[in-house]
Chain A
């Protein structure tokens, strides 16, 4: 498909998601209290979307991933939350 066709197919859906994302950040801004590492990771990932070149989805996923290599001594009791508090690769 060419760019025009892809825009015809996906623009409204992407536009809706973009507004949702902006509204989410507004909601966070307007709320009280401290944010945790998830917001910082989210904003770092958002920055990678602006970067030139393809592979944006992969870069976002890497930004939100645990990039360590060794198995954890024990499984953390909590479920995965979608972001990692350590230094991630991008």
Chain B
């Protein structure tokens, strides 16, 4: 089995997780910028975090032969302070030149506030001006439906945005349809308690097809499982999916989407 982990917050994980992922067939890992579990006090804090994502973490992953890529942004949970958000967004262009930066993400909404929408628009504009891929976080739990609708409104309102270059993550049964129908890619996050279980993710694949879907662990400092993607592949096998179908979903699809960024190089992993 081979797979690409398209969404993992490895700065929050121990080195043993890199080893477990590598021996489980992980061929590349991609890390969106996110909330640290506490609000950072200044733009300088984000500068250090972007250095960690673009310099330190790739070196940590390389010890296990694992290519590490990242996405940069100010996350929606820290978007209520517009002054801080503007300062952080101004930092990002210098980092976009780094060889492992894939695009802008995970931008999006958290509690669906007006300021969060403004910062989302600001970062969609940043992505458009710099011709970057976009990775979008959709809100948690009861906020997901409304947030996904608002996010789609923002993305569709900007004519420079090509849906095929945006992935809207953390979809569930009530949001996946609207995302795919609008032409965007959709990500399913495999969490033990919130978002999708493996069985539900496979249900969604069977209902909507695997054309523009990927699966990720989004492992971080919370309740999450770094090997969730291979575990979901095992679920597919139990449901009678062929090895080719599994490979397409967990390796081919992330490869297809991420390769739209010329910096993403196909991993030379055995199949």
Instruction: List chain B residues, Cβ under 8 A from A83.
Output: 141-142
Give chain B's interface residues, CB within 8 Å of chain A: 80, 110-117, 139-146, 149-150, 172-174, 199-200, 203, 238-240
Interface 1/0 per residue, A54-80 and B, CB below 8 Å:
010110011011111101111110011
Contacts A1-B239, A9-B238, A75-B80 given; indicate if A66 touches B113 (C-beta within 8 A): no
Interface size on A, residues (CB 8 A): 26
In the complex, besides A9-B238, A66-B145, A80-B111, 19 extra interface pairs with C-beta distance below 8 angstroms are: A9-B239, A58-B173, A61-B173, A61-B174, A65-B145, A65-B174, A66-B112, A66-B143, A71-B112, A71-B113, A71-B114, A72-B114, A74-B80, A75-B80, A79-B140, A80-B139, A80-B140, A81-B142, A84-B142
A-B contact count (CB 8 A): 75
The verdict on A66 contacting B173 (CB below 8 Å), with A57-B200, A75-B113 known, is no
Given A10-B199, A73-B114, A76-B111, the answer on whether A62 and B174 have CB atoms closer than 8 Å is yes
Within 8 A of B (CB), among A6-21: 9-10
- Using Cβ atoms and an 8 Å threshold, which residues of chain B touch A65? 142-146, 174
B139, B174, B199: the one within 8 Å of A58 (CB): B174
Residues on A facing B (Cβ under 8 Å)? 1, 9-10, 55, 57-58, 61-62, 64-69, 71-76, 79-84
Among the interface residues A69, A75, A76, A79, which one has the most CB atoms of the partner chain B within 10 A? A75
Q: How far is the CB of B71 from chain A (nearest CB, A)?
A: 22
| Min CB–CB distance A52 → chain B (angstroms) | 17
Chain B, Cβ-Cβ closest to A9: B238
A82 to B203 Cα, complex, angstroms? 22
